[in-house]
Structure 1
Amino acid sequence: MKTITLTGHDIREAVTMHEAIDAVRRGFVDLAGGEFEMPTRTVLRDGQFLVMSAHHRSSASAMIKTLSLNFQRTPAIAGTVVWSETGRLDHLVADAGAVTALRTGAAVGVATDLLAAPEAGRLTLIGAGGQAPDQVRAVHAVRPLRQLTVVDADPQRARALLETLAPELAGVELLTATDAESAVQEAEIVCCATNATSPLFPASALPAQVHVNAIGAYRPTMRELPDELLADSTVVIDELDAVLEESGEIIHALEAGAISKDALTELGTALTAPAAEYGKRTVFKTVGVAMQDWAIAQLLAGKFLH
């Protein structure tokens, strides 16, 4: 029996964002096709501890992720991802923080590639925390950026993020801001990666055509987007049961009568449906599902175990 243990650095060295996006895209297609057993994640201590699992039927492989989450520490996410396959004694153990950031970014890359205007190149990122770098990398992978504005209440943290990303964004105009409402007014793509409990901006602040990704709110008490935006947009989600249980934005909008369940389209379904004409405003809301972690773990297993 062999156990491969991978650090965050190992994962970053082994997997490119383009590879992660392709793997997660295939995962969403398989999810829509019924290839996964995937219970809704176990949430303990109001979201401070999470347990997620997924079994991919056709490959007979499974992933279990356990993590603790604390926004008062750095890194905020700590834990492990364990991948195994029926019939094999070998298994893989990977750093949950790196896998989570990579797979969350990759899901945003998949959705942005599907929903954003082909020429979109101005990104406003709200939140400069641990998930932020991979949000930028994923969007840049599918919609090469001309301009990036990072919004954070702490200007120093926003500047530090831009310094980190600058070598990867040659030729991109890099800006910081502290006011989200003004920063989204000319954006073509918006990424929200915060732990906000109320909407970050009014729907009226956005241009007529824009794609918005919202990844930060993963509990019913958290919200990044206003009801009016969801009511006025094509809304694509990662998985229906997950968002109905965990997404503060979706729960609030449903209870307010701003949207109905019929207005929500799972990403896997959207990827496999005939090409559609989406509205000028599109939203991707994700709380994160175990399939995404499985997709990255499967990719790593292919590199290190096969």
Structure 2
Amino acid sequence: MQTVTVDARQIREAVTMREAIDAVRGGFVDLAAGEFEMPTRTVLRDGRFLVMSAHHRATASAAIKTVSLNFDRVPAIAGTVVWTEMGRADTLVADAATVTSLRTGAAVGVATDLLAPAGAGRLTLIGAGGQALDQVRAVHAVRPLRELTVVTTAPPRAEALAEHLAPELPGVRIRTTTDAGSAVGDAEIVCCATNATSPLFPERALPARVHVNAIGAFRPTMRELPDELLADSAVVIDEREAILEESGEILHALGTGAITESDLTELGSALTAPNPPRAERTVFKTVGIAMQDWAVTRLLAEKFLP
């Protein structure tokens, strides 16, 4: 029996964003087909510790992630993802912070590819924390960017992020601002990656046609999006049970009557439907599910296990 440990650098060198997007897309399709055994994640200390697990029936493989979250430290996410297979005793242990950022970006890439207008190239990113880089990379992989606006209340962080991204985005105009309302006004795609507890912008600030990804709020007490936006959009989610347990903006909108559960479409179902959701405004809301960790860690297992 051998245990292979994979660190952040090795993950980045081994898995491209395009590979991660393809893997996560396949995972969502399999999820819709009932190929996963995936309990709702265990939440301890009001979301400070999370345990997530997924078993893929077809391959008799599983991934279990255990993390702690602390937004006052760097990195905010710390922990491991453990990969096991029924057919062999070798296991893989991967850095959870890197897997989480990569798989969250990949899910946004899948949703953006399905829902954003063809040719959309103006992205507004709200938040410049640990998830920000992979949000931009994922969108750029499926909708090559012309313009990027980074919004944060901490200008030095936005400027550092812009400087880091510049070599990866040649020819892309990058600017920073602290005003989310004005920044989303001409966006074609918006990514929200914050730990906000109230909406980041009013619905009226958005253009008539836009795709919005919201990844930051993962507890019922957190919200990034206003009810009015959800009511005015085709809303696609990662997984219904997880969303109804944890998504603050969805729970709030359901509570006010802005939307009903029938307004929610799971991404896996949208990917396999003959007619994917179409609307002037689309929203992808994810709280993160264990299948995504499984999908990326499977790529690592294929590359690193003997």
Q: Structure 2 length normalisation: TM-score?
A: 0.99
Matched, 1:220 2:186: no
1:171 is aligned to 171
Secondary structure of the 1:175 match is strand
1:268 is aligned to 268
User: Distance in 1 between the 2:269 and 2:25 partners?
Assistant: 11
CA RMSD of aligned residues (A): 0.6
Matched, 1:187 2:179: no
User: Distance in 2 between the 1:12 and 1:163 partners?
Assistant: 19
5+ residue gaps, structure 1, are none
2:75 is aligned to 75
Deviation (angstroms), 1:119: 1.1
Tell me the matched-pair count. 306
Secondary structure of the 2:88 match is coil
2:112 is aligned to 112
Matched, 1:257 2:222: no
Which aligned segments of 4 or more residues in structure 1 are displaced greater than 6 angstroms? none
2:11 is aligned to 11
Secondary structure of the 2:241 match is helix
Matched, 1:196 2:196: yes
User: Distance in 2 between the 1:287 and 1:277 partners?
Assistant: 20
1:146 is aligned to 146
Matched, 1:207 2:207: yes
User: Distance in 2 between the 1:223 and 1:9 partners?
Assistant: 32
Instruction: Return the letter of the residue paired with 1:79.
Output: G
Q: Residue deviations 1:193-228, cap 9 Å, x none?
A: 000000000000000000000000000000000000
2:229 is aligned to 229
Deviation (angstroms), 1:87: 2.1
User: Distance in 2 between the 1:107 and 1:276 partners?
Assistant: 16
User: Distance in 2 between the 1:221 and 1:185 partners?
Assistant: 27
Q: Residue deviations 1:248-299, cap 9 Å, x none?
A: 0000000000000000000000000003360100000000000000000111
Instruction: Return the letter of the residue paired with 1:282.
Output: T
Percent of residue pairs identical: 76
- 5 Å-filtered alignment, 1:44-63, equals 44-63=44-63
- 5 Å-filtered alignment, 1:87-102, equals 87-102=87-102
Deviation (angstroms), 1:305: 1.4
Is the CA contact 2:147–2:173 (under 8 Å) kept in the aligned structure 1? yes
Q: Structure 1 length normalisation: TM-score?
A: 0.99
Instruction: Return the letter of the residue paired with 1:115.
Output: L
Q: Residue deviations 1:77-134, cap 9 Å, x none?
A: 0000000000201010000000000000000000000000001000000000000000
User: Distance in 2 between the 1:92 and 1:26 partners?
Assistant: 21
Secondary structure of the 2:67 match is strand
User: Distance in 2 between the 1:275 and 1:95 partners?
Assistant: 38
Secondary structure of the 2:162 match is helix
User: Distance in 1 between the 2:39 and 2:284 partners?
Assistant: 21
User: Distance in 1 between the 2:243 and 2:276 partners?
Assistant: 23
1:242 is aligned to 242
User: Distance in 1 between the 2:291 and 2:78 partners?
Assistant: 19
Deviation (angstroms), 1:14: 0.3
Secondary structure of the 1:89 match is strand
